[in-house]
Each structure stands twice: as C-alpha cells, then as structure tokens.
Amino acid sequence: MDFKVKKIDEWRYLIPKKGAMRVPGLVFSSSELMANIEDDQSLLQVVNVATLPGIVKHSLAMPDIHWGYGFPIGGVAAFRMEDGIVSPGGVGYDINCGVRLITTALVASEVRPRIKELVLALFKNIPAGVGSRGRIRLSTKEQRNVAAEGASWAVKKGMGTEEDLERTEDQGVIREADPGAVSERAYKRGHDELGTLGSGNHFLEIQTVDEIYDQDRARAFNLFEGQLTVLIHTGSRGFGHQICDDFLKEMGTKVKEAGFDLPDRQLACAYVTSDTGKRYLSAMACAANYAWANRQIIMHWTRDTFEKILAMGPNELKMELLYDVCHNIAKLEQHVVDKKKVTLCVHRKGATRSLPPGHPDVPMVYRKAGQPVLIPGDMGTYSFVLAGSQQAMKETFGSTCHGAGRMLSRKQAIKTAKGRAIHRELEDKGIYVQSRGRTTLKEEMPEAYKDISLVVEAVHMAGLAKKVARLRPLGVIKG
C-alpha cells in the first residue's frame, strides 16, 4: 500500500490526505483489530472513497471494516448535495440489511427446555435459505404498495402494531420512494420473497440478556438480566440486489460522460442531484421499504409461533419491538460541518445510525436515553445493545459499527471448517441451530468473524456508542 496509517490515539487511526484524496481517511479501531485490518484491501478502499467528488470531512471506517464492493463494509462517507455523489457500492447489494430486536416478559432459564421446539417451529414457519420463497405472493401492483409504504403495509394487513412502526428507524418507511424507478426484473425477483430470511449471515436468534452494562438505559430499553429476546437479521433479498445491480450497470456506463476519474470501477456513481442519482435514491428507498416490511412480517410470524408453542397470549409474552435499525443505506440528512448545518448524502455500508439523546429522529420513548444501537453477532457469538452518542454526531455523522466484520472469506471459512460438524460444536455450547444446509454453517462459523467484543469495545471507548447490554444465543435458524 502506498499510503501510511498514523495512530492518533488508542481508538483512532488517520490516513493522511495524499494524491487524489480529497479528504483524509479516519479509522476507528484498536491495535489488536488493526493487525487484521491491514492484511486485506479495505484500507485501500477507504483511500479510494476519499477521492470521490463532494466528500466531506473524512472517509470513515468502523472497527468491523472488511473488504467490500467498491466501498469497504464498515465504511461511512458523506457527500455535499451541490457537487457530491451517490454510489450503489456505498450502500451495498443488500439494501437495508438490518436487525430488529424483540423483548419479552419471559425468563430464559424457564424457556430453555423448549428452545429446540421453538427453533424447529420457527424454522418451519419462516422460510430461509438461498432462493427461499415466502408464504406471501404479491402482484406487481401490491409490490409497488410495499415499496411505497414499507413496514406500514404489513401493519395494515394485520401483521403488527402502530407501536412497532414508532420503534422502527424512520417509522419503517422512506417516503421519497418511487416505485416507478424500479425495474420489472427487480419486481419479478421480489414477488415471492417477502417474509423470508434468505441466506448468508442472515438469521433469527433466540437469545438471553447475558450482561447489563448500563442499568438506567437498560430499563429505558425494557431489558433485564436473564430475559429472553429474539433478534431478526435480514434485508431486501433479491429485490434490493437487483436494484443495486441495475444502477451499478447504468452508472458504470455514464461515469466517463460525467467526468469522474475513478480509481476503481466498482465506485460507479452519479451526482446526487442528477437524474440518475435521484432515480437511484428513489429506487433504493423502495428496497429499504421492502426490507422493513420483510422484517415486520417475520416478527409477526415469530410472535405467532411463540404464542402457539408456549400456549401463551400476547399479554403474557409481551413480545415488543425494542428497535429496528438498517445497516446498508444512503440518506439525505442534516449535519453540522464547519459550524454550519447542511444537508448531506450519508452512505452507511455495514454501519448503523447512532443518534444521541434528544435527537428528533429518536423515538420519544427513547429520547432521553438515546437511539438503541443493535450490533448482531453470528450463531456462536454475542450480540450487543448500545445507545447512540453525541460524539458520533461530531465525528461520524451519527454512525457506528454494525457487527463483528468478516475475517475469512466464505471460501476460506469452508476450507477451515473441513471435517468439522459446526452444528454439533454449537450444540456443545448450548446453542441449537437449524439451517437449510451445512455449507452455510461452515461459511458463517464463529471463527470467520472478528471478536465482536473487541469491535464493540472500540466503538464504546471511542465514544461512538455506549454499551448497554450483551445478548447470548440459545437457538438459531439460518438459511
């Protein structure tokens, strides 16, 4: 690499501006995590993003950073409206991949004997896996309604409550969505995938609150030690993937016309205010809305499954949405730059919002505590609940990490897992897993990821979000 990384303090590393870079790079990490980060090409991608027109302040990277398409996964970048760009690679193929956490009134120790039964029922009721098809079949007209209405579409169909919408990022809808900006091929891919988990790192986990770090915020978030919770992690499926693919191809053919000199063709982009840029943001919003509807439906079926298996009513279970956050998105937001409030196009790819107490976009129920920040692990690892902070607004446009971040590619993970029975290894740890195939378990084995405790500690110590609680998996369904 022809650039240097300078350590600022224990949790921040600077890549000085050099050559075509318009801004420096800023990486939030630790010395232990940096040793692995410097082994891949993700820091070069931080540098490449720093060359894009209209970028503001820094090209940012969270401690879960790893190599991605064009932009690094775990990357954050904000662009001016007047001369800045929007890039599908800065959002990712799985638009609005995200997580939602459900709290319950149940104590995990009392339910543990029935975890296997619950997992099997959830696996039966919620389609998962590559090419999984849902129980909902939509006409193109109804798909357009989902794309425009988001999670509220599902609630109107009886699959949730108004309180669910209040506790979802953006109330589960980006209102600038334009169903007319979406290709017929995308609609075709998405017509029978609503209400499905998909594959890869997507999952549904039954968990327990293993440790509380901040009692006041835990109470505000309705969390208590020993509590049973459910975490859902999925996105916009093939619908979002096709939208990303469509616009990458279109922007890729227009890059030279627009006068962009890109260091990597995967950074294909368009000016935010151009016709192509506006259409991409409108289509991306449709995929984001689809993802919110998807997670809303899965949560509804999860509630239904718990009620039937445990023979308990809603008032006994109290399965309430804590919050839903998205990981892969580009949003037009107001931020302070050089002491002036300006509108920016903020890309978060493998990163999530971290809004502080008092911020108007934080639901009223959490306004004093700050936005719940949900950081999922995977299968055999912990997940975390944090709270948003003012420091994130100052340094990262209100952003923080989104997970552990991969250390091994899927091919490397399969090779490492050769001869091992991952499902049995997890059962030995008290985690019951159901998946469509053993290959997914090998691809997603815990060793394929960084130590999530180190990642969360880095953002906590850097002040980008504050630790509230740790969650431990008991049962998992995977694609």
What is d(CA 90, CA 73) in angstroms, rounded to the nearest whole number?
A: 9
pLDDT score, position 445: 79
User: CA-to-CA distance for 213 and 456, rounded, in angstroms?
Assistant: 12
Whether 422 shows a pLDDT value over 90: the answer reads no
* Confidence at residue 32, expressed as pLDDT on a 0 to 100 scale: 93
**383 - beta bridge partners?**
471
Q: How many residues does the chain have?
A: 479
Does 52 map to a domain? yes
For 245-266, the pLDDT digits (tens) are 999 999 999 887 878 889 999 9
* Domain assignment present for 192: yes
Residue 157 forms part of a structural domain: yes
Lowest mean pLDDT among 131-135, 168-172, 222-226, 282-286: 131-135
pLDDT range class, residue 475, cuts 50, 70, 90: very high
Interatomic CA distance for residues 183 and 231, integer angstroms: 32
Q: Which residues form the catalytic set?
A: 402
User: Is 328:349 a contact under the CB 8 Å cutoff?
Assistant: yes
Q: How confident is the model at residue 423, as a pLDDT?
A: 82
Alpha carbons 222 and 180: distance in angstroms, whole number: 40
Q: Are 411 and 454 in contact (CB under 8 A)?
A: no
CA angle 266, 270, 273 (to 5 degrees): 155
Q: Cβ(66)–Cβ(38) under 8 Å? A: no
Q: Any idea which of 270-274, 292-296, 376-380, 398-402 has the lowest mean pLDDT?
A: 376-380
Is residue 423 in some structural domain? yes
pLDDT exceeds cutoff 90 at 406: no
> Among 34-38, 273-277, 452-456, which is the least confidently predicted range?
34-38
* 32: Cβ contacts below 8 Å, ≥ 6 apart: 454
* Average pLDDT of every residue of the chain: 94
Considering only residues 259 and 240, tell me which one the structure prediction assigns the higher pLDDT.
240
Q: What CATH number is associated with residue 100?
A: 3.90.1860.10
Contact 95, 329 (CB under 8 A): yes
Give a yes or no: residue 119 inside a domain. Answer: yes
Residue 169 confidence (pLDDT): 98
Residue 15 lies in a domain: yes
Q: Residue 475 has which token pair?
A: 């049962």
pLDDT tens figures, 358-393: 999 999 999 999 999 999 997 778 999 999 999 999
Q: How confident is the model at residue 131 (pLDDT cuts 50, 70, 90)?
A: low
Looking at the predicted structure, is the pLDDT value of residue 1 above 60? no
Average pLDDT of 349-365? 97
**Residues of the domain holding 438:** 6-478
Q: What is the dihedral of CA 248, 252, 254, 258, to 10 degrees?
A: 100
Cα four-point dihedral sign 36, 350, 354, 221: negative
3-state helix, strand, coil in the chain (%, to 5): 40, 25, 35
Q: Greatest CA span in the chain, whole angstroms?
A: 65
> Phi and psi of 123, rounded to 5°?
-65, -35
For residue 1, is it within any domain? no
Classify residue 414: in a domain, yes or no.
yes
Lowest mean pLDDT of 37-46, 235-244, 284-293, name the range. Answer: 37-46
Q: What is the mean pLDDT of residues 166-179?
A: 98
- Number of separate domains in the chain: 1
